[in-house]
Amino acid sequence: MAVTSEPRAQEGGAAPRHRSATRSLLRLWPYVRPVRVRLFGAAGVAVVASCLGLVIPLVLKWMVDGPVAHRDPGGVWLGGALLLALGTAEAALFGLRRWLVGRPLASVEAAMRADLYRHLQRLPVSFHDRWASGQLLSRATTDLMLLRMFLAFPLTFLVVNGVTILAGFAILLSQEWTLGLVLVVPAVPLVILCSLFETRYATVARTVQDQTGDLTTVVEEGVLGVRIVKGFGRHRSQARAFRALSEQVRSTELHKARLLATLWALIMTLPELAIGAALVLGTVRVADGDLSAGTLVAFLSTALTLRWPVESLGFLLAMSQDAATATDRYFDVMDAEPATAADRPRPAPAREGGEHGEHGEGGQEGAESQDGQDGVGGLRFAGVEFVYADAPPEEPPVLRGIDLHIRPGETMALVGATGSGKTTLTALVPRLHEVTRGRITLDGRDITALPRDELRALVAVAFEEPTLFSATAGENVLMGAAGAGREELLRALKVAQADFVHALPEGIDTEVGEQGLSLSGGQRQRLALARAVVGGPRFLVLDDPLSALDVHTEALVEAALRRVLASTTALVVAHRPSTVLLADRVALLSEGRIAAVGTHQRLLRESAEYRSLMSGQEAEEGERSP
Ligand SMILES: Nc1ncnc2c1ncn2[C@@H]1O[C@H](COP(=O)(O)OP(=O)(O)OP(=O)(O)O)[C@@H](O)[C@H]1O
Ligand SMILES: [Mg+2]
């Protein structure tokens, strides 16, 4: 299990350290745009509410210097009523703000999550090979939640508190500029400290979020692999790995908290000191008679009103920084190129010409293709080379110089030692990976020129690992073809010898559970096979689809497969001689090249490698073969 201390996903992302938080956050605009009226409305309401709070000290000043000084009870009542009205209005406006932003922001989060999910589905397999699923999961959950919280709260309040602070300082300076200066001066070191803090905090915030992603990966693997963990008694070491990682997250969180605490201490202390100094200075001046008591009251209560906006700046900035990091992490994924573009630049592919007429035997069958380019029917690999994007450059390509032609209606078995590239070759046909050189044609049409949905309708696949989804057995099979109905479903189940589903508690409507783990390995393989044949595809690519079947079931599936294979063009990866016998011809893949093509018999005679691969049963199978 990949317990890495270095966040694995970082390699996929751009270096986030040097990006400014504002620039990152601005990228949210397309999502915020639809709700901008409400969001700005809410911010406007909050600004008004906050500024109402600033009027209160002015009323106080009027009361102290007016009705209180002249002992006029009517005036005091009036002032009191005014203060009550102002306070109520402020509270009501803040309530209105909350109501305004709640629902639209939930929809922003939902839209971003939907986009992320859609994008993840479109990203090439090579992307998913590279990224840990926990990193993706944490982006779709924690990071998006951080973003919604940012839009709901810190964003508004950074604006509101900023405006309030400016307005407040303007009031302070206009009332008594000398005292005002006493308060304004400490703001300078505060601003410098905040910007220093931002850079350091950004680094820590990113680390925490990446580590959380790694933690998610460990949890996910532990849950999915619970059988292995239990079977090998690995729960202790698994728990230890988890603890180590969560310890790491904790210590980074603590580092973050310490940074925040230092900043807060400064942000809290400096204004207190300044207010204290202003109080002393103001009292002395009132005593000297060159300042009215009302002005001092108004001044101090304005300063006290400004305490919250100033003090909140610390955590508002911190939350914004978290949100900026979350945005970066979100766009790390969203910026990855979807599968339409080639996974890596193709170095001068041998696309046009070169191979025409080389395989003349396919010429006449090419008539079947509607807009065939080279008139060769069937499935054809021409000069195909493939390199995994993350393979070390000095390593030879996994596949090179693959020339293979599977004639229409023919079944070709693909045989090779483990790790020789069979699975890789099959994954190229439905374009799960893009060839790095050469081309693959279906009835003469280059697969890169085919629209993806057409390609997927033409080619059906079943892989070594039969993946099922948490859905009913029937739904899992019908996934294989858009628009297939009950009739096709029943036929496919029959062909794949998957009639066992009828015996399940609710027949084809039985939920097969997460990954189909409630089924046996052989049952899962047969359902996956049914999914491959349900659409009656022209081309069938099967990666060792019979590996988990017992001998008896295998014979049944083979008998059924023989019927399916008769009507399609198929490439079947085979490990056992019995599977090979389903095929008309066999291709031997050896170290990334097609070493030999021919009938089973011929290869047994002519290829020592083939003989050794088929060894053990070769003599017996050899006699049985047609
Ligand atoms: N996603 C990947 N990224 C990088 N290298 C890979 C990837 N998948 C497979 N490989 C490498 O490509 C080579 C061929 O793998 P492949 O799965 O095609 O073998 P195979 O012939 O199907 O083996 P088996 O018979 O065991 O299924 C192996 O050396 C493997 O390590
Ligand atoms: Mg394989």
pLDDT digits (tens, 9 = 90+) for 470-491: 888 888 898 888 788 888 899 8
The answer on pLDDT for 623 being more than 50 is no
In the prediction, which pLDDT does 9 show?
A: 41
Q: Which residues pair with 405 in a beta bridge?
A: 380
The answer on pLDDT for 371 being more than 80 is no
Q: Which residues pair with 602 in a beta bridge?
A: none
pLDDT band at 390 (very low <50, low <70, confident <90, very high): confident
Query: Which residue, by CA, sits nearest to atom 24 of ligand 1?
Result: 418
- Cα(342) to centroid(ligand 1), Å: 20
- Say how far apart CA 461 and CA 458 lie, in whole Å: 10
Which residues have C-beta within 8 Å of that of residue 107, sequence separation ≥ 6?
34, 35
pLDDT band at 363 (very low <50, low <70, confident <90, very high): very low
Average pLDDT over residues 146-154: 87
- Cα(481) to centroid(ligand 2), Å: 24
In the prediction, which pLDDT does 2 show?
A: 39
* 397-430 pLDDT, tens digit each: 889 888 999 998 899 999 988 888 898 999 899 8
- Cα(543) to centroid(ligand 2), Å: 7
- Cα(378) to centroid(ligand 1), Å: 25
- Cα(350) to centroid(ligand 1), Å: 24
In the prediction, which pLDDT does 615 show?
A: 77
Coil, strand or helix at 132: coil
Q: Are 255 and 204 in contact (CB under 8 A)?
A: yes
Q: What is the pTM of this model?
A: 0.71
Coil, strand or helix at 91: helix
56: left (phi over 0), alpha (psi -120 to 50) or beta: alpha
Q: Are 50 and 156 in contact (CB under 8 A)?
A: no
Query: Which residue, by CA, sits nearest to atom 3 of ligand 1?
Result: 388
- Cα(519) to centroid(ligand 1), Å: 27
The answer on pLDDT for 137 being more than 80 is yes
Coil, strand or helix at 451: coil
What DSSP line would sit under 359-421, residue for residue? TGGGGGGGGG-SS-SS---SEEEEEEEE--TTS-TTSPPSEEEEEEEE-TT-EEEEEE-TTSS
Q: Which domains does the chain have, with CATH numbers?
A: 25-334 (1.20.1560.10), 342-464+536-624 (3.40.50.300)
| Ligand 1 pocket mutation, candidates 384, 387, 400, 420, criterion most atoms within 8 A of CB | 420
pLDDT band at 254 (very low <50, low <70, confident <90, very high): very high
pLDDT band at 244 (very low <50, low <70, confident <90, very high): very high
* 560-605 pLDDT, tens digit each: 778 778 788 999 998 888 888 888 999 999 888 888 898 888 888 8
In the prediction, which pLDDT does 255 show?
A: 92
Q: What is the mean pLDDT of the chain?
A: 81
Q: Are 208 and 249 in contact (CB under 8 A)?
A: yes
- Cα(364) to centroid(ligand 2), Å: 33
In the prediction, which pLDDT does 251 show?
A: 94
Query: Which residue, by CA, sits nearest to atom 25 of ligand 1?
Result: 418
| Ligand 1 pocket mutation, candidates 128, 130, 131, 398, criterion most atoms within 8 A of CB | 398
The two tokens of residue 148 are 């919604």
- Say how far apart CA 423 and CA 443 lie, in whole Å: 22
Q: Of 172-176, 458-462, 621-625, which gets the smallest average pLDDT?
A: 621-625
Average pLDDT over residues 150-176: 86
Q: Are 25 and 202 in contact (CB under 8 A)?
A: no
In the prediction, which pLDDT does 368 show?
A: 35
Pocket of ligand 1 (CB under 6 A): 129, 388, 390-391, 398, 416, 418-424, 464
pLDDT band at 548 (very low <50, low <70, confident <90, very high): low
pLDDT band at 340 (very low <50, low <70, confident <90, very high): low
The two tokens of residue 48 are 């008004």
The two tokens of residue 292 are 């009215």
Which residues have C-beta under 5 Å from ligand 2, the single-atom ion?
Answer: 423
Query: Which residue, by CA, sits nearest to atom 18 of ligand 1?
Result: 421
Closest atom, ligand 1, to C-alpha of 420: 21
Question: Terminus-to-terminus CA distance in the chain, angstroms?
Answer: 46
In the prediction, which pLDDT does 516 show?
A: 67
- Say how far apart CA 372 and CA 349 lie, in whole Å: 19
- Cα(439) to centroid(ligand 2), Å: 21
- Cα(432) to centroid(ligand 1), Å: 14
The answer on pLDDT for 370 being more than 60 is no
In the prediction, which pLDDT does 168 show?
A: 87
Closest atom, ligand 1, to C-alpha of 126: 1
Q: Are 371 and 441 in contact (CB under 8 A)?
A: no
Average pLDDT over residues 292-311: 84
The answer on pLDDT for 355 being more than 60 is no
Distances (CA, A) of 410 to 181, 379, 538, 598, 615: 90, 9, 11, 12, 25
* 26-48 pLDDT, tens digit each: 898 999 888 888 888 888 888 89
Closest atom, ligand 1, to C-alpha of 421: 18
* 429-448 pLDDT, tens digit each: 988 888 888 989 988 889 88
The answer on pLDDT for 532 being more than 50 is yes
In the prediction, which pLDDT does 412 show?
A: 92
Query: Which residue, by CA, sits nearest to atom 29 of ligand 1?
Result: 419
Query: In the block, which residue shows the tokens 């979100």?
Result: 330
Q: Is the Cα dihedral 588, 589, 590, 593 positive or negative?
A: positive
Query: Which residue, by CA, sits nearest to atom 2 of ligand 1?
Result: 388
Taking alpha carbons only, the member of 379, 395, 375 closest to residue 387 is 395
Average pLDDT over residues 99-127: 87
Taking alpha carbons only, the member of 523, 512, 525 closest to residue 473 is 512
pLDDT band at 366 (very low <50, low <70, confident <90, very high): very low
Cβ density class 307-333: b for 16+ within 10 Å, e for less: eebbbbbbebbbbbbbbbbbbbbbbbb
